[in-house]
Amino acid sequence: MTTDIQNGSIHTAINNKIATIEFGHPSGNSFPSKLLQLLTEEFNKLSYNNQISVIVLKSKGEKVFCAGASFDELLAVSDLEEGARFFSGFANVINAMRKCSKLIVGRVQGKAVGGGVGLASACDYVFATSDSSIKLSEFTIGIGPFVIAPAVERKVGANGLAELTLAGDEWQTAEWAKQKGLYAKVFSTLDELDKQLDLFTNKLSNYNPEALSEMKKVLWEGTENWETLLYERAGISGKLVLSDFTKQALQQFKK
């Protein structure tokens, strides 16, 4: 399956019971709302595909994993309804990943910002390169990472979330992310990452698929309230993006 929208794309390839989803966008692999919707639909569809056991999530290129949500769309938000709908994009994806019956392995080959950190956090296991620094910069433009915060906190803990959020202008290294539990493995080169990722996913794909699915449920126990929580958080962000403070910060950022 290949889908292209406004220079962005999602491509899914299935091989040996492994589905690989690759997303891409010219602006740092960022996500306009339509691309988020397509990614959500893809996870939902693959969840019911009995021909696969594992999903790999990756992005195009070698330097940036994901720059988060589309900045152009963020600037265009004009009312509360639009704001809540905009920030619900990542809520939809995270919930789809959470409820997906397949284990999701992330391939993070470069920097991740904002929603990109949320995507990595919603994976069940993550391989990364040493160049894969992370940052939650939402405070610098007057909002906060409210929608993705539950997913991030689940991996790095409350203290890690505070460090990422309150020091929103600072990058945290891939080693920091590994120590906190966001990344399971960190490799010095992309070639080594891909080699080990192939070995790992092929091994997983040969396990009992029912056991894998049941383990997925165990890993996500206690997150059932995200079905409402993430959308409540989207409403908070949608309100903040309309504030005078945020509008001025966005204009300065755009300049």
pLDDT one digit per residue (tens) for the chain, 255 residues? 666 666 799 999 999 999 999 999 999 999 999 999 999 999 999 999 999 999 999 999 999 999 998 878 887 888 888 889 999 999 999 999 999 999 999 999 999 999 999 999 999 999 999 999 999 999 988 899 999 999 999 999 999 999 999 999 999 999 999 999 999 999 999 999 999 999 999 999 999 999 999 999 999 999 999 999 999 999 999 999 888 888 888 777 766
| Top-level class of domain 2-190 | alpha beta
For 117-154, letters b (16+ CB in 10 Å) and e give: bbbbbbbbbbbbbebbbbbbbbeebbbbbbbbbbbbbb
Ordered by start, the domain boundaries in the chain are 2-190
Q: What is the spatial distance between Cα 219 and Cα 184, in angstroms, rounded to a whole number?
A: 15
